[in-house]
Amino acid sequence: MIADQAADELLYDLRDGIGRVTFNRPRFRNALTFPMYERLIEICECADAEPAMKVLILTGAGEAFASGTDINQFRAFREPQDALNYDSYLDRVLQKLEKCRVPTIAAISGACTGAGAAIAATCDLRVGTASMKFGFPIARTLGNCLSFYVLNLLSSLIGPARVKDIIFTARLIGPDEAAKIGLLTEVVEDVPALQRRVDQLALLIAGHAPLTIRATKEALRRLQAKNSLETDDDLVLSCYQSNDFREGMDAFLNKRQPIWTGE
């Protein structure tokens, strides 16, 4: 039943060497569930094992790319290890996507926030519509934090100063600014134009030397990787185990403003 649900909520198709992933929970702005994450991992493994696949496109159904992890997934958190497990789990999903053998393209329209924004940032190329909004509004919603892995990924993409600006202000970036700072590869007018452009881009890339593309992608990934003896476990726990995080969840689910205490 869970596998069937994930298949319905995360669609996958492979035609003419182009794989297409569609986050398919439009009623919930494509908020991501754990079964959807598992299916994304499986698709990345399929891409690694399928020589016929040349490019993988990720997009969202309806008016959003993906609005982050479904908040209801957090309600079962009881122990400190639950938060650490979630953090490492999401990192594993993103690492699987980052290490995917084929080039990945995020086709972004509407909300691209939280874990959805992390997925988009992990992709090799990002094309967005005039309606796209990118960000991590956690400082005004849940009061949680991003992992070392995600922060390093974002810093490599747009620089640490801009990452701080986005998270500290909890604002969402529009398409013009996103293109200006290098977050988007290009901007198109609407969803039909987005579909046409990413298809063109995927076909173009699919016709080029796969070993050149693979070597470039993997070399850049290795250059961005940083070895450190430090962990972020204490930072993760300080957020996810706090009264503020519980307040943030309750406020979000009940559509009210949270009252932060810093505890």
Q: What is the pLDDT of residue 56?
A: 98
Residue 189 makes CB contacts below 8 A (sequence gap 6+) with 129, 130
Q: What is the percent of the chain where pLDDT is above 70?
A: 96
pLDDT of residue 217 exceeding 80, the answer is yes
Quote the CA–CA distance of 20 and 161 in Å, as a whole number. Answer: 33
Q: How far apart are CA 251 and CA 258, in angstroms?
A: 5
| Beta strand spans in 39-100 (E) | 55-60, 64-66
Please list, in sequence order, all residues whose beta carbon lies within 8 angstroms of the beta carbon of residue 181, skipping any fewer than 6 positions away.
158, 159, 162, 173
Give pLDDT tens digits for 168-204: 999 999 999 999 999 999 999 999 999 999 999 999 9
Reported as a single tens digit per residue, the pLDDT across 131-165 is 999 999 999 999 999 999 999 999 999 999 999 99
State the average pLDDT for the chain: 91
pLDDT digits (tens, 9 = 90+) for 35-77: 999 999 999 999 999 888 999 999 999 999 999 999 888 877 8
CB 31 within 8 Å of CB 71: yes
Average of per-residue pLDDT across 84-105 = 94
Least confident residue range of 90-104, 155-169, 238-252: 238-252
What pTM value is reported for the model? Answer: 0.90
Q: Which residues contact 38 (CB under 8 A, 6 or more apart)?
A: 6
Q: For residue 100, give the 3-state DSSP assignment.
A: coil
* 2-206: CATH, from 3.90.79.10, 3.90.226.10, 3.40.50.970, 3.90.470.10: 3.90.226.10
Paired sense of beta strands 111-113 and 133-135, if any: parallel
Closest CA to 25 of 67, 58, 57: 67
Per-residue pLDDT at 3? 59
Q: Is the pLDDT of residue 227 over 70?
A: no
Sorted by where each begins, the domain ranges of the chain are 2-206
Q: What pLDDT is stored for residue 1 in this prediction?
A: 47
